[in-house]
Amino acid sequence: MLLTNFQIFFVKVHPSTMFGDFKILKKCKTTNARVSQFTLNNNTLDLPIFMPVGTYGAIKGVPTEDLKEQMILSNTYHLRDLNKNVKDFMNWKGSMLTDSGGFQIGSLPNVEVKEEGVLFDGKLFTPEESMDIQMQLGADIIMQLDEVVNPNDSLDKIEVASKRSIRWLDRCIQQVYGEKSDEVKRTKKEFLPEIKLENKKQILFPIVTGGLDEKLRQYSIDEIIKRKPKGLAIGGLSGGEAKSEFARTVLYCTTNLPDNIPRYVMGVGYPEDIVICSALGTDMSDCVYPTRTARFGRIFTDSGDIYISNKHRFDLNRNEECDCSTCSQYSLAYLSMIKGTSNFCRLTTTHNMHYMRNLTKRIREAILEDRYPEFIKSYMKNRYKVVPEWIIEVLKKVNVMIN
């Protein structure tokens, strides 16, 4: 089912589609970009998509009834004591993804990673516990617990983490989809768990790891594909590596991943990065950046970000590029005057979320209309006075020449 009205955010599941179905509607003839649909419990997602992050089950400054997103992300670590379905708790009718909690725990001081799990504050957080919490939270997509390391760490450390993450993936699969069969236990055959959706309402996404090393990335990809995932994430990036290295690694992954499942690149939220990652072949992304930076006064526009400050206190102009509820009603002077208030947080967050939602809509439309390369060129030249060299070089790899 192809949407012609992109203002429809939630799509009834077509009778011919089933939970976990993934369908590519259109591939870009020049880049690796594609438009697709992914069927979850009550909704069919139109991809590419950006997911804003509601860490505690809420987007700061925006009530649930004002959310127009197809899907949002919440955090397992921060919701570990909720003990109920988070979608029901926040009265959210759309789709939801929960992360594993590993990134947040890995960011804490005095953390020790063991084969059993992650030890922090004298407590052991295991792959099984991450799955149990996520199953109770009830998100449509749940994430495996992986060992989080910085992509700039030593190759030995990244290799240990990547191989451990596969072992943890098997434990996650067993916790969600069942224990080893009696035959496997009796004969002691090698057990290779598979992700199966029978009688399940949640899809477990494995995470491709391996830092910036292509051999380790390939190892992770090969092992994950053996387990027949219904979707997966590209993780272990956005940790301070050079943008060119980030893009090279994403492109390597998408080039070597199967076409028939959605690809989620984790922690990507700069507008230009969404455009680039879509061209590289990813379908989903998330980040706190659009909402967090909005609260500090940075709002997105195609012609560059605007940082609301005292210099706008006499600027009665509105952002004419945008038709969101904020820009259609309030001037930059008004936003400058109320900066630091809860109203400011709500208005700027509403704008940035609308911008990201509209950006992915325009990406989908451009791909469907066979003009995505032209869209990329126009977008980058509008956003930058001088397009960064790394963007020019990355886009060359998918046959888009900026200059």
**286 part of the active site:** yes
User: Active-site residue among 99, 140, 146, 170?
Assistant: 99
253: nearest Cα among 265, 241, 271: 265
**Residue 184: which pLDDT band, with cuts at 50, 70 and 90?**
very low
Lowest-confidence region among 92-96, 107-111, 382-386: 107-111
Position 197 scores a pLDDT of 67
User: Active-site residue among 46, 140, 170, 286?
Assistant: 286
**Residue 180: which pLDDT band, with cuts at 50, 70 and 90?**
low
Q: Judge whether residue 12 has pLDDT over 50.
A: no
Q: Are 106 and 146 in contact (CB under 8 A)?
A: no
Q: Judge whether residue 199 has pLDDT over 70.
A: no
Position 102 scores a pLDDT of 80
Position 112 scores a pLDDT of 92
Lowest-confidence region among 115-124, 241-250, 291-300: 115-124
**Residues contacting residue 220 through CB under 8 Å, at least 6 positions apart:** 162, 165, 166, 208, 209, 210
Q: What are phi and psi of 224, to 5 degrees?
A: -65, -45
pTM (2 d.p.): 0.91
Ordered by where they begin, the domains of the chain are 27-36+48-287 (3.20.20.105), 295-396 (no CATH)
Q: Judge whether residue 103 has pLDDT over 80.
A: no
Position 198 scores a pLDDT of 58
Q: Judge whether residue 149 has pLDDT over 70.
A: yes
Position 178 scores a pLDDT of 82
**Residue 95: which pLDDT band, with cuts at 50, 70 and 90?**
very high
**99 part of the active site:** yes
Q: Judge whether residue 374 has pLDDT over 90.
A: yes
Q: Are 274 and 48 in contact (CB under 8 A)?
A: yes
CA of residue 21 relative to chain centroid, distance: 19
Q: Judge whether residue 285 has pLDDT over 90.
A: yes
**Residue 403: which pLDDT band, with cuts at 50, 70 and 90?**
confident
Q: Judge whether residue 187 has pLDDT over 50.
A: no
Position 185 scores a pLDDT of 47
